[in-house]
Amino acid sequence: MTGLPKPGDEFGGYKIEKLLGQGGCAAVFQAEQTRTNRKVAIKIVLPHIIEAVAGVAPRFLREIDVVKRIEHPNVIRLFDFGQTDSGLLWMAMELVSGKDLQEVLRAEGRFEPERALHVMTQALSGLAVAHDTQIVHRDLKPSNLMLTDQGVNRDIVKVLDFGIGKAIGADEDKTVQEVTEAFGDALGSPHYMAPELLKREAVGTASDVYSMGLILFEMLTGRPAVEADTIFEVYAKQVYNDIAMPKWLAHSALGPILNKATAKTTADRYGSAKEFLAALQKVDAGSITYVENDEVLTPEPKMPARKSRAGVPTAEKLAPAPVPAKKSPAPRRKKTRKKKAQSQQTALLLLLLAASFILLAIYFLTNT
């Protein structure tokens, strides 16, 4: 298989003009449709991805048929797709001028509540159409939300990168789900991924809700909800730690909504973008006041309960037990049991880190 196209190359009725950007799974080019002179963005799957995943071509083409269902002003429009003579997989999409949300936040800092809600409600409106057809984005993050200006209208949102959306409807071809799993390994962004994605559990529309909750928090505060020095700490915080909110936000109308959107279990979350949107539409942005350097309320990490097996104590049994006051050895026993509980928690974290190493190893092996 040949490499990526160069400016001037033509295929499928499009002429490549320039490279716009490249990620872990695909490259995006600006191109022109030769028949209509329309400018488009062409996304091309990187050759090493195609070579690494057996039978990826027919699966990719089926996946695009899924994405074609999504028609909404706040979702990038798909025009065409195909495969070149050399085997490259491509899709032509609406070309949007503007900046992604990540760039805007870096340049301007936090948003006022009214602006944050304006952006989020648009994104959720587009996402709701996908969720209605049981399509899950899986990789929502600030860089996948484009902000454009149209005339006097500012901050018009376009949701990008539905190409890795996972079809979960019962009527979907299993191969569509298989290819999205393969792409998900290359594209997932741990800082915005739901706990069930990191734990390789069942993924659904509530997984997107979690990511959107983290993005809303970042717009309101100007900082990511999940901050850590290493990828392993990111994984641990996503799985065990509720987000630490500044007091002004936690006590506002948005506090309970954000807590529900970012709950660690899907059963405790809004089930879809439509439910999350409905909750936000009831909020009066004018009633929310930002407080500089406000106290941050940090919740305690939630360690999982252990299943009882023969010879294995449950979480309750690991907790320090009450000790009779009259027995002198009591303080020492309490301290010993506390250390044992801490050791169990440390062991659990080490297991999580080991799993993270394995996932990273798989990623590097499939991308070399």
pLDDT at 356: 60
CB–CB of 301/226 below 8 Å?
Answer: no
Token representation of residue 349: 């974290």
Catalytically annotated residue among 100, 139, 161, 208: 139
What is the C-alpha separation between 6 and 80, in angstroms, rounded? 20
Report the 10 Å Cβ neighbour count for 55: 10
Token representation of residue 240: 């065990």
DSSP character string of 197-219: HHTT----HHHHHHHHHHHHHHH
Write out the E strands in the chain: 10-11, 14-22, 26-33, 38-45, 78-83, 89-94, 99-100, 135-136, 145-150, 153-159, 166-167, 245-246, 296-297
Going from the C-alpha of 1 to that of each of 12, 46, 85, 166, 366, the distances in angstroms are: 17, 11, 10, 27, 17
pLDDT at 218: 98
Token representation of residue 131: 């969720």
Spans in the chain with pLDDT lower than 50: 165-187, 307-336, 362-368
Token representation of residue 193: 């991924």
For residue 136, count CB atoms less than 10 angstroms from its CB and return exposed for 0-12, middle for 13-18, buried for 19 or more.
buried
What is the C-alpha separation between 109 and 106, in angstroms, rounded? 6
Torsion of CA 116, 121, 126, 127, to 10 degrees: 90
Token representation of residue 19: 């490279």
pTM, two decimals, is 0.76
Token representation of residue 42: 């062409």
Report the 10 Å Cβ neighbour count for 106: 12
Report the 10 Å Cβ neighbour count for 345: 15
The type of residue at 275 is: E
What is the C-alpha separation between 350 and 342, in angstroms, rounded? 12
Cα first-last separation, the chain: 15
Place of tokens 């290359």: 186
Report the 10 Å Cβ neighbour count for 281: 10
What is the C-alpha separation between 356 and 362, in angstroms, rounded? 10
pLDDT at 53: 67
Segment 169-199, tens digit of pLDDT: 333 344 334 444 444 443 458 899 999 988 8
Place of tokens 């979702």: 75
pLDDT at 357: 55
pLDDT at 168: 37
What is the C-alpha separation between 201 and 164, in angstroms, rounded? 17
pLDDT at 151: 86
The type of residue at 143 is: S
Going from the C-alpha of 217 to that of each of 118, 213, 271, the distances in angstroms are: 14, 6, 19
CA 247 to chain centre: 25
CATH 1.10.340.30 fits 10-94, yes or no: no
pLDDT at 342: 56
CATH domain 99-297 topology:
Transferase(Phosphotransferase); domain 1 (1.10.510)
Going from the C-alpha of 287 to that of each of 112, 114, 213, 214, 240, the distances in angstroms are: 12, 10, 20, 21, 31
Write out the E strands in 23-87: 26-33, 38-45, 78-83
139 is catalytic: yes
What is the C-alpha separation between 359 and 3, in angstroms, rounded? 27
For residue 147, which phi and psi values (nearest 5 degrees)?
-110, 125
